[in-house]
Amino acid sequence: MSKRTILWDGLWHNNTIFVQLLGMCPLLGVTTTALNGFWMGVATMAVLLGSNLVVSLVRGFIPADVRIPAYITIIAAFVTIVDMLMNAWLHEMYRLLGLFIPLIVVNCAIMGRAEAFASKHGPLDACLDAVAVGGGFTFALMLLGGVRELLGQGALFGVPVLGSDYPDVLMFILPPGAFISLGFILAAINVLKRRREARVSTAQAGCSA
């Protein structure tokens, strides 16, 4: 698998949120603002980087029968470390994201990468995969957080952009808004993809003619 494929798979073609629809719990919980989404994505990426690297390093050593408990231990250790680091050096954000940082441990996307990728590839590719998947996850959380912040509070990254008298639109602030926004984002992405496919197939038809 080429480095380029790994990168684009994680970032876009196989995006955890937009394509696989995994990790919906942090998605609903923290994406009330773009900044929350960004930091949640970064925290997840840090865990993913640690777990992918270690799982890849020990992949020849862990017998297949006990690989799941071993991976869970590794992931849980990294989640706890990220939790402590954020508490120490990103204290304000830690208070905001609070409950959701420990919950990274049950984000099935991380277990999925350990099982489907890191356990079958070298450390370098595993790290690249973590950066790509984590980056795609961060992008998705930030996009959704941005849409909800913009429509719900008329602001982006805490800065009012739709005028200071923009009313709070509760539907986008509350959890249902996450589902609805995600639905529209997915629809938009599908339209984009279909258009591109149509263009590619006409181009190919042109070539063969």
Partner 1 sequence: MLERDQWRMVAALVTVAVVATALLAVADRMTRAPIAQAQRKALHQALAQVLPPHANDPQRDMVTMTRAGKPMRLYPARADDGRLLALAWEEVAPDGYSGPIRVLMAVDPTGVVQAVRVTEHRETPGLGDGIVRNRAWIDAFAGKTLDNARWAVKKDGGDFDQFTGATITPRAVVKAIHEGLMFFAKHRAQILRKLQTVKGLEDE
146 lies in the binding site for partner 1 (CB under 8 A): no
Q: Which residue carries 């590719």 as its tokens?
A: 125
Q: How far is the CB of 139 from partner 1 (least distance, A)?
A: 22
Q: Which of 19, 24, 25, 76 binds partner 1 (CB under 8 A)?
A: 76
77 lies in the binding site for partner 1 (CB under 8 A): yes
Q: Which of 1, 3, 5, 69 binds partner 1 (CB under 8 A)?
A: 69
In sequence order, which residues have a C-beta less than 8 Å from that of residue 71 and are 6 or more positions away? 51, 55, 111, 114, 115, 119
Cα(195)–Cα(108) distance, rounded to whole angstroms? 31
CB of 20 or CB of 80, closer to partner 1: 80
153 lies in the binding site for partner 1 (CB under 8 A): yes
Beta bridge partners of 156: 159
Q: Which of 1, 124, 174, 198 binds partner 1 (CB under 8 A)?
A: 174
Q: Which of 6, 35, 9, 32 is nearest to 20 (CA)?
A: 9
**Residue 45 CB coordination number (10 Å):** 21
**Residue 91 CB coordination number (10 Å):** 10
105 lies in the binding site for partner 1 (CB under 8 A): no
Q: Which of 26, 134, 145, 152 binds partner 1 (CB under 8 A)?
A: 152
CB of 22 or CB of 147, closer to partner 1: 147
158 lies in the binding site for partner 1 (CB under 8 A): no
Spell out the SS3 assignment of 152-167: HHCEECCEECCCCCCC
Residues contacting partner 1: total by CB under 8 A: 31
Cα(124)–Cα(120) distance, rounded to whole angstroms? 12
Q: Which of 1, 21, 81, 188 binds partner 1 (CB under 8 A)?
A: 81
CB of 62 or CB of 185, closer to partner 1: 62
Cα(139)–Cα(34) distance, rounded to whole angstroms? 10
186 lies in the binding site for partner 1 (CB under 8 A): no
| Conformation bin of residue 62: beta by default, left when phi > 0, alpha when psi is -120 to 50 | beta
Residues within the interface to partner 1 (CB under 8 A): 32, 58, 61-63, 65-66, 69-70, 73-74, 76-77, 80-81, 84-85, 87-89, 91-92, 95, 98-99, 152-153, 168, 170, 173-174
